[in-house]
Amino acid sequence: MRKTFGALSLLFILGILLLIANPNYGLKFGLGGEDWQKYRYTDQYYIDHGIEETGGTNIVTDIVFDYRGYDTLGEATVLFTSIAGAVALLRKWREENEE
C-alpha cells in the first residue's frame, strides 16, 4: 500500500514537472515576451547562420569548435588529465628507461 502510494506520488510530481517545463505555456526564465524561445532554442539559428559566421559546412563542428568552444576546451583538458593519470599510475616506463 505504501509502495503504491509512493510510486503514484512520484508519477504525480513527474507530471507536474512536465507541465512546468512545457515551452508553450510553462514557466519562463529570463526575458519576457515571446523572445525567450528564440534565445533558448538556438538550433535554427545555428542552421541558418552557421555557414556565414564560421565557414564550415559541418554544423556540428561549427558548434563544437566555435560556438561551444569552452566545452571542447574542458573536454580536451579532461582527456589530458585522464591520460596523465593513467600513465602516472601504470608507470613502468620510468623504471625501464632508468635501467
For 58, how many CA atoms within 13 A lie in the half-sphere containing its CB?
4
Interaction of residue 21 with other proteins, rule CB under 8 A:
no
Q: How far apart are CA 84 and CA 37, in angstroms?
A: 42
Among 34, 43, 96, 98, binds other proteins (CB under 8 A): 96
What is the per-residue binding string for other proteins in 71-90, x denoting contact by CB under 8 A? -xx--xx-xx-xx--xx--x
Interaction of residue 36 with other proteins, rule CB under 8 A:
no
Q: Kindly give the residue spans of alpha helices, DSSP state H, lying in the chain.
A: 2-20, 35-40, 43-54, 59-62, 69-89, 93-98
Among 65, 74, 78, 98, binds other proteins (CB under 8 A): 65
Answer for the pair 18, 24: CB distance below 8 angstroms, yes or no: no
Answer for the pair 26, 19: CB distance below 8 angstroms, yes or no: yes
12 vs 80 by CB, closer to other proteins: 80
Residues that bind other proteins (CB under 8 A): 51-58, 60-62, 64-66, 69-70, 72-73, 76-77, 79-80, 82-83, 86-87, 90-93, 96
